[in-house]
Amino acid sequence: MEIDVRHAPAFAAARCTLRPGERVRAEAGAMMATSAGVGVEAQMQGGLMRSLKRSMLGGESLFVTTYTAPPEGGWVDVAAHLPGDLVVRRVTPERPLNLSRGSYICSEGGVEIDTRWGGFRTLAGGEGGFLVHASGSGMVVVSCYGALDTIALGAGETVVLDSGHMVAYEDGVQMTARRVAGTMASLKSGEGLVFEFTGPGEVIAQSRNPSALITWLTEVLPFTRQ
């Protein structure tokens, strides 16, 4: 499968070009368009319990849509719900990828998408305690709100990231959560919880915070009376 990201960085879309009979799995609602003849099947990947786990705990949809190319091959275009960029990452058995809720878009057939307990540090950081875990072998398309930044950390190197700007990080990266400052200092600066990542490995960040967008919309939208 070949993946070409277009219209980046503000309104990115990814075209997955498939060989005859090749498949790509995508999050429900991520498909923008397909070429003629591409087969579409929605199913619960990994069975009912695993799909419920991924949906209820990982923030992904219950059903995963599988697109299969016809004998002459084909393509599938995917895009995220929020305006922003897309990045393509290859995962291997040695280098799985941990994704924040809602950032998974699609993946090759050899990639397994599951939910992993990220610890109380992610619960404190607003991720609900669980992360989407991409393992196996193949390419994964990851979305963000705004523009993407990839931070390559050397062994022992550390970066501090606001919890709402985290998109993904490799399995070898160590992560802890903490307050950026004391209670009064946090109120004055507008900052709260941060993630501290220590390499080696890559961390992917987004330039906008989806939670901040929700807060802003809640404040400016008029109340509706039933």
Write out the chain's pLDDT in tens, 226 residues: 999 999 998 999 999 999 999 999 998 889 999 999 999 998 755 544 454 444 444 444 556 899 999 999 999 999 999 999 999 999 999 999 999 888 999 999 899 988 776 554 444 444 445 688 899 999 999 999 999 999 999 999 999 999 889 999 999 999 888 877 654 444 444 456 889 999 999 999 999 998 888 888 888 887 654 4
Contact 18, 76 (CB under 8 A): yes
Give Cβ neighbours of residue 222 (< 8 Å, ≥ 6 apart). none
Q: What CA–CA distance (Å, rounded) separates 20 from 15?
A: 16
Asked if residue 176 is part of any domain, the answer here is yes
172: domain range?
Answer: 2-219
Q: What pLDDT is stored for residue 181 in this prediction?
A: 61
Phi, then psi, of 220 in degrees rounded to 5? -95, -25
Asked if residue 94 is part of any domain, the answer here is yes
Is the bond preceding 200 in cis, omega lying within 30 degrees of 0?
yes
Asked if residue 226 is part of any domain, the answer here is no
Q: How far apart are the first and last CA of the chain?
A: 50
DSSP three-state, residue 223: coil
Asked if residue 24 is part of any domain, the answer here is yes
Q: What CA–CA distance (Å, rounded) separates 207 from 18?
A: 31
Asked if residue 225 is part of any domain, the answer here is no
The CATH number given to whatever domain includes residue 94 is 3.60.160.10
Is the bond preceding 9 in cis, omega lying within 30 degrees of 0?
yes
For residue 58, give the nearest of 153, 128, 149 by alpha carbon: 128
Asked if residue 120 is part of any domain, the answer here is yes
Which strand (E) or helix (H) includes residue 100? none
Q: What is the pTM of this model?
A: 0.79
- How many domains does the structure of the chain reveal? 1
Asked whether the CA dihedral 41, 74, 77, 85 is positive or negative, the reply is positive
For residue 49, give the amino acid letter. M
Q: What CA–CA distance (Å, rounded) separates 133 from 226?
A: 41
Asked if residue 17 is part of any domain, the answer here is yes
